[in-house]
Amino acid sequence: MMHDSRNFLMTRRSFGGLAAAIAIAAGIGACGGGQEQQGSATAGDITWWGWTPDAANAAKIIEAFNQEFPDIHVEFVSKPIDSYDSVLSPAITSKDGPDVFNVAPGSANGGVQTFEAGAIDLTEAVTAALGDDWRSRLAAIGVDGLTVGDKLVGLSAGAVYSGGLWVNQDLFDEHGLKHPTTLAEWKSACEAFRAAGVGGFVQGAGQHAFDMDTFEAIMENIRPGSYVAAAKGEIPFSDPIFTQGLEIWQSLFDEGIMQEGAIGLQQYPDANNMFMSGKYAMIMMGSWYTQYAVKDAMVAAMEAAGVSNPEPFTILPIDFPDVAGTGNIGGYFGDADYGVAVSGMSQQQAAATTFVTWLAASSAGQQAIADTLNDIPALEGVTPDWDAIDLVDPEVQREPLQTYTEQAGGSSVTRFADVSADLNSAYRDGLIGLIAGTVTIEEVLSALQAVVDSER
């Protein structure tokens, strides 16, 4: 595959030759001591904790890494997303904790603001890997979201974007239905599927992060950029567009687009399993769902959803419907999916730094990321090798997936990076509370504005 000529095409020799320099440079760590890192940059046993990638994709990444660094043994330890912060907090204060751990932008789990003190600064490491102009070679959305002050806490493996729907194309074809492009068409499609004994759209609205995705998609449709602008205090939540947005959010439940009992379910595992088992035709998920266009990943996901002897089905991404009638469609938003950080307590910092810089700042590492279809790579010029990817139905999926990854990856609108922890909580209480009938639209907007005002 051809890459932009400005990229470093790291061979084993060239990247390995940088390993020692990276190890020394990144030794200016969490405590600012500037001492050389412990351990070898080319050999050692390291552990990597994260809520993502899944086990199959982690194994593929580690296998690719070991082709260049066979003497660094990496063990990936998957941690549940909902308890990640609580298990990581004590672990990174101990030498028995992980050598590498995932971090994320903003108020999401693994937030860099929460865990930056336990990580070394990777600025010198990425400079050694990519040169002084490294910022121009990495996606800004990943660098900015994983930096605290002047400290680069983690290196972005890649970004994920939300703002659209995924559909079971086999169900649409079977029932002769078209993808919805408006609110009315969305409602009509759900009604048609229900009449045929199939669920239309499913969302675990009890898991508020995905409710925030849906609400941001609504606001991007009403006025692009307004959701982030309000989080930054640039426009007030008293602007009538936010009342309109919450009215549309509520209408998804009132009009039967959201399934019955939606706020009693979680997106993972509940809604995901319902979609993967073929019980529903549409779901609100982001670019991370692209991985399930691949046969083996789809089969594994269906098995995890309880399907016996699964036959993989064809999934496609579609734009969020034009629910406000503005014509503003295709408004995607995202952050670094996860960054890889090196623990300040690690006894294998040199090897750990070699791993994270290979993963996030080498063409080989980023190609491994790209080909899982879980993340859109952080290193410019790296794209999936579609010829080598075993899609469920290449003739139907390849072109839409290529267009989708290019369109989403071109967005600079953030997902969680500009949402503080307190604002995140206010969205949780407001979006779910509005549907439960415990708060009014006016109360939701007042609470959101109060948080923004308190943070100025």
The answer to the question of residue 372 being in a domain is yes
Question: 405 and 322, same structural domain?
Answer: yes
- Rounded Cα distance between 123 and 315, Å, is 39
Do 226 and 148 sit in the same domain of this protein? Answer: no
**For the domain that residue 212 is a member of, what is the CATH number?**
3.40.190.10
Please answer whether residues 65 and 352 qualify as being in contact, where contact means their C-beta atoms are separated by less than 8 angstroms.
Answer: no
CA dihedral (410, 288, 173, 269) in degrees, to 10, reads -150
Q: Are 107 and 416 in contact (CB under 8 A)?
A: yes
Residues 256, 125 within the same domain: no
403 shares its domain with 379: no
Return the biggest CA–CA distance within the chain: 68
Domain co-membership, 135 together with 187: no
Q: Are strands 199-202 and 280-283 parallel, antiparallel or unpaired?
A: parallel
Domain end call among 323, 357, 383: 383
Output b/e per residue, 57-84; b: 16+ Cβ within 10 A. Answer: bbebbbebbeebbeebebebeebebeeb
Domain identity same for 216 and 124:
no
Number of domains in the chain: 2
Please tell me the distance from the alpha carbon of residue 316 to that of residue 390, in angstroms, as a whole number: 15
Pair 76, 155 in one domain: yes
Q: By residue range, what is the domain housing residue 414?
A: 164-331+396-454
Residues 65 and 88 in one domain: yes
- Radius of gyration of the chain measured on its C-alpha atoms: 22
Residue 250 lies in a domain: yes
Q: Which residue has the tokens 């006016």?
A: 442
The answer to whether residue 6 sits within a structural domain is no
Q: 112 in a domain, yes or no?
A: yes
**152 and 24 part of one domain:** yes
Report helix angle 240-254 to 441-454, nearest 10.
130
Residue 307 inside a domain? The answer is yes
191 within a domain of the structure (yes/no): yes
Residues in the chain: 456
Q: Are residues 133 and 195 in the same domain?
A: no
Do residues 222 and 361 share a domain? no
Q: Walk along the chain (456 residues) and give the pLDDT tens digit of each residue.
A: 222 222 222 333 334 443 443 334 334 344 444 446 778 999 999 999 999 998 888 999 999 999 999 999 999 999 988 899 999 999 999 889 999 999 999 877 899 999 999 999 999 999 999 999 999 999 999 999 999 999 999 999 999 999 999 999 999 999 999 999 999 999 999 999 999 999 999 999 999 999 999 999 999 999 999 999 999 999 999 999 999 999 999 999 999 999 999 999 999 999 999 999 999 999 999 999 999 999 999 999 999 999 999 999 999 999 999 999 999 999 999 999 999 999 999 999 999 999 999 999 999 999 999 999 999 999 999 999 999 999 999 999 999 999 999 999 889 999 999 999 899 999 999 999 999 999 999 999 999 999 999 998
pTM comes to 0.84
Q: Look at residue 388 and tell me if it is in a domain.
A: no
**Are 371 and 323 found together in one domain?**
no
Quick check: is 389 in a domain? Answer: no
